[in-house]
A and B are shown apart, each in its own frame.
Chain A
């Protein structure tokens, strides 16, 4: 069953702790993305990766870090430097970075920092 998975669905953390969100795809896509969505808001790009071992900052990268050691995986770490981390995090992938390629989204992770 091909697709993109994110885990966990819900995540609770104490303030000041780093937390890593998982994103895996078996679509053989080169490009992967992380978005943040706040209630009633649009999608804001955190980081994106065009290919393994390469990634670029998006519009709101401060307080976040990523790695792309494998084509299938693009984990996002929310660090303690992120001032307001409570949000819905969406991972997506596409064949390439081309604007004509469809993005496929995972189910998302709802992070709540207490």
Chain B
């Protein structure tokens, strides 16, 4: 079946440093979505990538979809304490979305 690996599992950074999380699939994906879950909260949709090599930006967040549509990344420039939370990738492959294990980001002021 479809497997997705998200790395790292956990990262802590100093405020102002950059952060990147990666999502890697064993199979070619039709699309990939990214979600953010604040501590104590629920996952909230951030963005969807569909095209090979696609890059999308949301303020300090940059999302990329690999050329082979097997991997994706989320990069945050100059992290802020409001970026704290867990970031999940959710690749679309077979008949429904599946969620990666998530990367937990801690930001120290």
Interface residues of A (CB under 8 A from B): 35, 40-43, 45, 48, 90, 92, 94, 97-108
Chain B residues near A94 (CB-CB < 8 A)? 97
Contact assessment for A90 and B33 in the assembled complex, using a CB-CB cutoff below 8 Å: no
Contact assessment for A43 and B43 in the assembled complex, using a CB-CB cutoff below 8 Å: yes
Q: How many residues of B contact A (CB 8 A)?
A: 26
The segment out of B52-60, B74-82, B98-106 that lies at the interface is B98-106
How many residue pairs between the two chains, A and B, have CB atoms under 8 Å in the bound complex?
56
Q: Which of A35, A99, A106 contacts B30 (CB 8 A)?
A: A99
CA–CA, A43 to B86, complex, Å?
11
B 29-57 contacts with A by CB, 8 A: 30-31, 33, 35, 41-45, 48, 50
Contact assessment for B92 and A106 in the assembled complex, using a CB-CB cutoff below 8 Å: no
Chain A interface SS verdict (over half)? loop
CA–CA, A9 to B11, complex, Å?
29
Contact assessment for A100 and B48 in the assembled complex, using a CB-CB cutoff below 8 Å: yes
Contact assessment for B88 and A105 in the assembled complex, using a CB-CB cutoff below 8 Å: no
CA–CA, A7 to B56, complex, Å?
36
Contact assessment for A48 and B100 in the assembled complex, using a CB-CB cutoff below 8 Å: no
Task: Kindly provide the distance from the CB of B94 to the nearest chain A CB, expressed in whole angstroms.
Answer: 8
> A42-B88, A43-B88, A99-B31 given as contacts; is B99 within 8 A of A104 (CB)?
no
Q: Which residue of A lies closest to B98 (CB)?
A: A45
Task: Kindly provide the distance from the CB of A2 to the nearest chain B CB, expressed in whole angstroms.
Answer: 15
CA–CA, A107 to B42, complex, Å?
6
Chain B residues near A35 (CB-CB < 8 A)? 99
Task: Kindly provide the distance from the CB of B87 to the nearest chain A CB, expressed in whole angstroms.
Answer: 11
CA–CA, A76 to B31, complex, Å?
29
Chain B residues near A103 (CB-CB < 8 A)? 33, 35, 43, 45, 90, 97
